[in-house]
Amino acid sequence: MKFESHTFKCDVDVYRNNDGFTVRFYDRSREQTEDQIVNLVIVQPPFGYLSLKFIGDSGEGLLSGFLSHLVFTEAMVQDAIDFIERLAEESFEGRTIGSIPSHITLVKESGYVEDNGEY
């Protein structure tokens, strides 16, 4: 599945459960294949995650998560929210989707912890 916003396009994975789902935004072409996972592996971080959780049976939901400020602009964040809302309507067909308040953080990387299999 793909997410598109203006001239930007990326891959998405959707992880579903009974009361919502989480979406991972990333570049599939930068991920290793099984054959490439040998001694030294550099794992590419995703562009971010958004999680939608429905509360009760009213169709109300809460959307939260983080997206990289290096990739996403405020306009692109709104496109990602719209993408999640469309996905919710498709995923929970027959369920009325109500209000979905959101809090999405644009993050700046300050460091990382890595285990690349070499040590």
Is the pLDDT assigned to residue 78 strictly greater than 90? yes
Q: What is the pTM of this model?
A: 0.86
73: which 2 tokens? Answer: 């602009």
Q: How many domains does the chain have?
A: 1
User: Residue 50 falls within a domain, yes or no?
Assistant: yes
Binned at pLDDT 50, 70 and 90, residue 65 comes out as very high
User: Residue 118 falls within a domain, yes or no?
Assistant: no
User: Residue 70 falls within a domain, yes or no?
Assistant: yes
User: Residue 114 falls within a domain, yes or no?
Assistant: no
User: Residue 115 falls within a domain, yes or no?
Assistant: no
The answer to whether 23 and 32 have CB atoms below 8 angstroms apart is no
Is the pLDDT assigned to residue 119 strictly greater than 80? no
CA gap 30, 42 in Å, rounded: 10
